[in-house]
């Protein structure tokens, strides 16, 4: 979260992934003046995981500076689902630490999957 680039929203967000390879990947939101072109903290962390050879999210934590218990946005929930099992734990944190825990299936009950594409 400390490395967030959020000059427009002033809403720093951080995320950390524990991947199947045992490594932790941290990310922060990075805004762009063309608002849809920025990306979320979860996206940054997922990108780092994939680029380092990680393949699966075991659990993920999200924290925001100005609001407690910020869940991943809808787009990030779908991105997380691409790399996590429905049982993966998503931790919503406040300034003290993890405060709530949800399974991905609870946060994205009817997400798109390869089954949706008939692959």
Q: Which among 42, 59, 87, 106 is annotated as catalytic?
A: 42
CA angle centred on 11, ends 70 and 20, rounded to 5°: 50
The burial of 118, by beta-carbon neighbours within 10 Å (0-12 exposed, 13-18 middle, 19 or more buried), is given as: exposed
Active site residue 82: no
Tokens 């100005």 belong to which residue? 66
Run of H or E residues at 106: helix 104-107
Cα 41 from Cα 3, distance rounded (Å): 10
Enter the tokens of residue 47. 């990108």
The residues annotated with a catalytic role in the active site are 42
């Amino acid at each position: 979260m400390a490395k967030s680039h959020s000059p427009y929203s002033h809403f720093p967000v951080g995320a950390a992934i524990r991947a199947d390879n045992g490594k932790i990947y941290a990310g922060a939101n990075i805004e762009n003046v063309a608002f849809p072109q920025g990306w979320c903290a979860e996206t940054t962390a997922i990108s780092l995981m994939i680029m380092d050879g990680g393949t699966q999210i075991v659990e993920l934590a999200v924290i925001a500076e100005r609001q407690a218990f910020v869940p991943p946005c809808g787009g990030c929930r779908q991105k997380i689902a691409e790399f996590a099992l429905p049982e993966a734990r998503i931790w919503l944190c406040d300034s003290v630490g993890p405060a709530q825990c949800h399974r991905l299936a609870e946060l994205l009950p009817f997400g798109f999957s390869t089954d949706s594409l008939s692959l």
